[in-house]
Protein backbone atom coordinates (compact mmCIF):
# COMPACT_ATOMS: atom_id res chain seq x y z
CA UNK A 1 0.00 0.00 0.00
CA UNK A 2 1.15 3.48 -0.82
CA UNK A 3 0.60 5.57 2.33
CA UNK A 4 1.16 8.86 0.50
CA UNK A 5 -1.29 8.00 -2.29
CA UNK A 6 -3.89 6.95 0.29
CA UNK A 7 -3.30 10.15 2.26
CA UNK A 8 -3.67 12.31 -0.83
CA UNK A 9 -6.92 10.55 -1.66
CA UNK A 10 -8.26 11.10 1.87
CA UNK A 11 -7.32 14.78 1.62
CA UNK A 12 -8.96 15.07 -1.80
CA UNK A 13 -12.22 13.53 -0.52
CA UNK A 14 -12.17 15.61 2.66
CA UNK A 15 -11.72 18.85 0.74
CA UNK A 16 -14.32 17.84 -1.85
CA UNK A 17 -16.76 17.39 1.04
CA UNK A 18 -15.88 20.88 2.31
CA UNK A 19 -14.49 19.63 5.63
CA UNK A 20 -11.44 20.74 7.56
CA UNK A 21 -9.14 18.20 9.16
CA UNK A 22 -10.70 19.09 12.53
CA UNK A 23 -14.25 18.56 11.24
CA UNK A 24 -13.35 15.14 9.84
CA UNK A 25 -11.57 14.26 13.08
CA UNK A 26 -14.58 15.33 15.16
CA UNK A 27 -16.92 13.15 13.09
CA UNK A 28 -14.64 10.17 13.75
CA UNK A 29 -13.91 11.03 17.41
CA UNK A 30 -10.17 11.25 16.81
CA UNK A 31 -7.59 14.06 16.86
CA UNK A 32 -7.03 16.33 13.87
CA UNK A 33 -3.33 15.32 14.16
CA UNK A 34 -4.32 11.75 13.20
CA UNK A 35 -6.02 13.07 10.06
CA UNK A 36 -2.93 15.17 9.32
CA UNK A 37 -0.70 12.09 9.64
CA UNK A 38 -2.90 10.18 7.18
CA UNK A 39 -2.87 13.00 4.66
CA UNK A 40 0.92 13.36 4.90
CA UNK A 41 1.40 9.62 4.40
CA UNK A 42 2.93 9.22 7.88
CA UNK A 43 0.23 6.77 9.06
CA UNK A 44 -2.81 4.87 7.88
CA UNK A 45 -6.28 4.95 9.42
CA UNK A 46 -6.83 2.38 12.14
CA UNK A 47 -8.92 -0.58 10.99
CA UNK A 48 -11.38 0.16 13.78
CA UNK A 49 -12.48 3.41 12.12
CA UNK A 50 -11.83 2.53 8.48
CA UNK A 51 -15.48 1.81 7.63
CA UNK A 52 -16.68 4.95 9.44
CA UNK A 53 -14.07 6.98 7.53
CA UNK A 54 -15.30 5.50 4.27
CA UNK A 55 -18.89 6.36 5.17
CA UNK A 56 -17.99 9.96 6.03
CA UNK A 57 -15.97 10.36 2.82
CA UNK A 58 -18.54 8.45 0.71
CA UNK A 59 -16.09 5.87 -0.65
CA UNK A 60 -15.32 2.19 -0.26
CA UNK A 61 -12.52 0.61 1.75
CA UNK A 62 -10.92 -1.01 -1.30
CA UNK A 63 -10.97 2.26 -3.21
CA UNK A 64 -9.58 4.19 -0.24
CA UNK A 65 -6.80 1.67 0.38
CA UNK A 66 -5.90 1.78 -3.31
CA UNK A 67 -5.60 5.55 -3.24
CA UNK A 68 -8.72 6.16 -5.31
CA UNK A 69 -8.50 3.38 -7.89
CA UNK A 70 -10.56 0.23 -7.97
CA UNK A 71 -8.43 -2.87 -7.42
CA UNK A 72 -10.83 -5.06 -9.36
CA UNK A 73 -10.11 -3.10 -12.53
CA UNK A 74 -6.40 -3.81 -12.25
CA UNK A 75 -6.22 -7.26 -13.81
CA UNK A 76 -2.93 -9.06 -13.33
CA UNK A 77 -1.29 -10.36 -16.48
CA UNK A 78 -1.01 -14.13 -16.79
CA UNK A 79 1.82 -15.05 -19.14
CA UNK A 80 1.55 -18.09 -21.40
CA UNK A 81 5.28 -18.66 -20.87
CA UNK A 82 4.67 -19.03 -17.13
CA UNK A 83 1.85 -21.53 -17.70
CA UNK A 84 4.11 -23.62 -19.92
CA UNK A 85 6.89 -23.43 -17.33
CA UNK A 86 4.40 -24.49 -14.62
CA UNK A 87 3.56 -27.69 -16.46
CA UNK A 88 7.25 -28.35 -17.09
CA UNK A 89 7.88 -27.92 -13.36
CA UNK A 90 5.21 -30.53 -12.59
CA UNK A 91 7.08 -32.98 -14.80
CA UNK A 92 10.39 -32.03 -13.19
CA UNK A 93 9.02 -32.91 -9.73
CA UNK A 94 8.78 -36.51 -10.88
CA UNK A 95 12.37 -36.42 -12.11
CA UNK A 96 13.70 -34.66 -9.00
CA UNK A 97 11.77 -36.55 -6.33
CA UNK A 98 11.32 -39.82 -8.20
CA UNK A 99 8.17 -40.95 -9.93
CA UNK A 100 7.33 -43.24 -7.00
CA UNK A 101 7.60 -40.43 -4.41
CA UNK A 102 4.38 -39.80 -2.50
CA UNK A 103 4.56 -36.04 -3.17
CA UNK A 104 4.70 -36.59 -6.90
CA UNK A 105 2.14 -39.40 -7.11
CA UNK A 106 -0.20 -37.49 -4.79
CA UNK A 107 0.01 -34.41 -6.98
CA UNK A 108 -0.69 -36.37 -10.17
CA UNK A 109 -3.47 -38.44 -8.59
CA UNK A 110 -5.09 -35.32 -7.16
CA UNK A 111 -5.12 -33.57 -10.53
CA UNK A 112 -6.37 -36.70 -12.29
CA UNK A 113 -9.22 -37.11 -9.82
CA UNK A 114 -10.19 -33.45 -9.71
CA UNK A 115 -10.17 -33.02 -13.49
CA UNK A 116 -11.16 -36.57 -14.46
CA UNK A 117 -8.17 -36.94 -16.78
CA UNK A 118 -4.87 -38.79 -17.06
CA UNK A 119 -2.52 -35.82 -16.69
CA UNK A 120 0.68 -37.59 -17.79
CA UNK A 121 -1.00 -38.90 -20.95
CA UNK A 122 -2.35 -35.42 -21.71
CA UNK A 123 1.07 -33.85 -21.18
CA UNK A 124 2.67 -36.45 -23.47
CA UNK A 125 0.58 -35.37 -26.47
CA UNK A 126 1.32 -31.87 -27.87
CA UNK A 127 -2.34 -31.32 -28.85
CA UNK A 128 -3.81 -32.18 -25.46
CA UNK A 129 -0.93 -30.40 -23.73
CA UNK A 130 -2.03 -27.21 -25.49
CA UNK A 131 -5.59 -27.86 -24.28
CA UNK A 132 -4.21 -27.98 -20.73
CA UNK A 133 -2.48 -24.62 -21.25
CA UNK A 134 -5.74 -23.15 -22.52
CA UNK A 135 -7.65 -24.54 -19.53
CA UNK A 136 -5.28 -22.84 -17.09
CA UNK A 137 -5.47 -19.53 -18.99
CA UNK A 138 -9.27 -19.64 -19.11
CA UNK A 139 -9.46 -20.41 -15.39
CA UNK A 140 -7.15 -17.45 -14.78
CA UNK A 141 -9.34 -15.16 -16.89
CA UNK A 142 -12.43 -16.35 -15.03
CA UNK A 143 -10.79 -15.52 -11.70
CA UNK A 144 -9.90 -11.97 -12.73
CA UNK A 145 -6.59 -12.24 -14.56
CA UNK A 146 -5.82 -11.20 -18.11
CA UNK A 147 -3.65 -12.53 -20.93
CA UNK A 148 -1.81 -10.96 -23.84
CA UNK A 149 -3.57 -12.25 -26.95
CA UNK A 150 -0.48 -11.59 -29.09
CA UNK A 151 1.42 -14.03 -26.88
CA UNK A 152 -1.44 -16.56 -27.11
CA UNK A 153 -1.50 -16.26 -30.91
CA UNK A 154 2.29 -16.72 -31.09
CA UNK A 155 2.31 -19.86 -28.91
CA UNK A 156 -0.91 -21.72 -29.73
CA UNK A 157 -0.96 -23.81 -32.89
CA UNK A 158 -4.63 -24.66 -32.40
CA UNK A 159 -6.39 -21.53 -33.71
CA UNK A 160 -9.76 -22.66 -32.32
CA UNK A 161 -8.25 -22.85 -28.84
CA UNK A 162 -6.73 -19.36 -29.19
CA UNK A 163 -10.11 -18.03 -30.34
CA UNK A 164 -11.83 -19.60 -27.32
CA UNK A 165 -9.34 -17.84 -25.03
CA UNK A 166 -10.03 -14.57 -26.87
CA UNK A 167 -13.80 -14.96 -26.34
CA UNK A 168 -13.35 -15.56 -22.60
CA UNK A 169 -11.05 -12.56 -22.36
CA UNK A 170 -13.50 -10.30 -24.22
CA UNK A 171 -16.41 -11.41 -22.04
CA UNK A 172 -14.37 -10.82 -18.89
CA UNK A 173 -13.32 -7.35 -20.06
CA UNK A 174 -16.95 -6.51 -20.84
CA UNK A 175 -17.91 -7.67 -17.36
CA UNK A 176 -20.32 -10.27 -18.66
CA UNK A 177 -20.82 -13.51 -16.81
CA UNK A 178 -19.15 -16.44 -18.45
CB 111 within 8 A of CB 139: no
Domain of residue 26, residue span: 3-73
The verdict on 43 and 113 lying in the same domain is no
pLDDT at residue 75, rounded to an integer: 64
Among candidate residues 42, 73, 104, the one where a domain is terminated: 73
Q: What is the pLDDT along the chain (178 residues), one digit of tens a residue?
A: 789 999 999 999 999 999 999 999 999 999 999 999 999 999 999 888 989 999 999 988 878 888 887 554 456 899 999 999 999 999 999 999 999 999 999 999 999 998 899 999 999 999 999 999 999 999 999 888 899 999 999 999 999 999 999 999 998 887 654 4
Domain count within the chain: 2
The verdict on 13 and 58 lying in the same domain is yes
First to last CA, the chain: 31
Using only C-alpha atoms, the chain has a radius of gyration, in whole angstroms, of 24
pLDDT at residue 73, rounded to an integer: 46
Amino acid sequence: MDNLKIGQYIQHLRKASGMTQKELADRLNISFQAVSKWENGDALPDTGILLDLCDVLDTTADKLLNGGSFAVRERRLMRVEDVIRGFSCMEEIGKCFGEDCTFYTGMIEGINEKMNIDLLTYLGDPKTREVMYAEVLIQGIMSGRTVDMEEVEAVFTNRKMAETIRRYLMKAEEGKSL
